[in-house]
Amino acid sequence: MLSGFGNFAGKKGVLLSFTALLLILALLSLIDALNTQSSRANASQALVFALQSASSKFENLYTDIVFLDKEPAAKIVDERNLPFSYSLDYNSVQVIQELPLKQNVWDSYFDLLNSFKIFNESPDFEISDGFAISVQTVQNSKWGGSAQDMNFLLLPQCLSYSASSSLSKAGFYPGFSAECPAGFDASKIKKYSISIRVKKTSLEDYNAISYNIAGFSNPAFPEFEFNFIDSNCSQCAVPTASKHIEGYFDPSQQSSIRIYCSGSGCNSQDINISIGNGIQAFHSGSYRIDANFSLIFKNPISAFYFTDFNVSVQNQDFNITYANS
């Protein structure tokens, strides 16, 4: 009897040991599954973090240098680096441009763009920040390039504001981009205005203004307004009636305004204004003027940005890249 009981107890012990082994293996399998799940969750969280970080880095780099702000406080910061001053509203834009543009102002803007490129592409910056960054932008002759102009695009109007390396012309021109392949739509124009302000008033002697505005009396066309401001110009003799005109214009035709000095001994260089789908001012004189462009549209403005700037941000661990081109 004792021998049989001993055999039974031994078999029972083996069974218990086997059951315990199965439980241990099951627990180990469960722990392994939990660890695998946790590892996958951590990897997923790391991927999400990497995506968010790369996206945030790209947005910061791109918007800092490219998009012009509407908010007054942010706009003041933007204007410190720009070759013009501006304001944006719901459906209007205003740009005040000095002409001729100072050479140092022109050069300073390209210095900003290319210094920004060098700083962000530097190895020290990449190591500390964990991203590989590439920047492409235009370069003027000072930076070994041949850029002839700088361009800012209004969306969705597809109207480009451009200043030229000749320093004597600036204004709005019909533009094209991937965001608006149909191009500029003149039917969206509500009103174009331009004011010219004489700056070196004691040295100028403008005395005449001539106009050729197509569709000036036709209210079916967009509105147009012009002002010539020479209130402190002691030598200027422009008739008061010529200093302000208000009417309409046909965008499909080229209209013009000329401000000049007529007669012998004149010092002032002509100021020429061209109006069509866009509006531009030209002045190459020794003394500078302010050209104030004001454009109102029937549809809202979504963006006003510098077009010649491309950025890519790469997280090399996950091979994640954000770029605008």
Tell me what pLDDT residue 317 has. 57
Q: Classify strands 149-155 and 320-323 as parallel, antiparallel or unpaired.
A: unpaired
Contacts of 310 (CB under 8 A, 6+ apart): 135, 136, 137, 323, 324, 325
Tell me what pLDDT residue 53 has. 45
Which tokens go with 94?
Answer: 């205003």
Tell me what pLDDT residue 119 has. 75
- Are the beta carbons of 89 and 78 closer than 8 angstroms? no
Instruction: Quote the DSSP letter at residue 77.
Output: H
21-54 as b/e: b if 16+ CB within 10 A: eeeeeeeeeeeeeeeeeeeeeeeeeeeeebeebb
The strand order across the sheet containing 303-306 reads: 208-212, 255-260, 271-275, 279-282, 169-174, 159-164, 149-155, 303-306
Tell me what pLDDT residue 321 has. 61
Ranges assigned E (strand) in the chain: 85-88, 92-99, 132-137, 149-155, 159-164, 169-174, 189-198, 208-212, 223-229, 244-248, 255-260, 271-275, 279-282, 289-297, 303-306, 309-315, 320-323
- Residues 97 and 124: their CA atoms lie apart, in Å, by 38
Which tokens go with 89?
Answer: 């509203």
- Cα Rg of the chain, angstroms: 34
- Residues 197 and 288: their CA atoms lie apart, in Å, by 9
Contacts of 195 (CB under 8 A, 6+ apart): 226, 227, 228, 229, 290, 291, 292, 294
Amino acid at 271: I
In order along the chain (325 residues), what is the average pLDDT of each group of 10 residues? 50 52 53 48 40 49 71 74 90 96 90 80 59 77 84 92 93 84 90 95 92 97 97 91 97 97 92 97 93 97 86 63 61
- Are the beta carbons of 290 and 197 closer than 8 angstroms? yes
Taking the whole predicted model, whether its pTM rises above 0.85 is answered as no
Q: How many CB atoms neighbour CB 246 within 10 A? A: 12
Tell me what pLDDT residue 322 has. 60
Tell me what pLDDT residue 113 has. 83
Packed helices 2-65 and 103-121: angle between N→C axes, nearest 10 degrees? 170
- Residues 216 and 212: their CA atoms lie apart, in Å, by 9
Burial group, residue 61, by CB count within 10 angstroms (0-12, 13-18, 19+) = buried
- Are the beta carbons of 301 and 278 closer than 8 angstroms? no
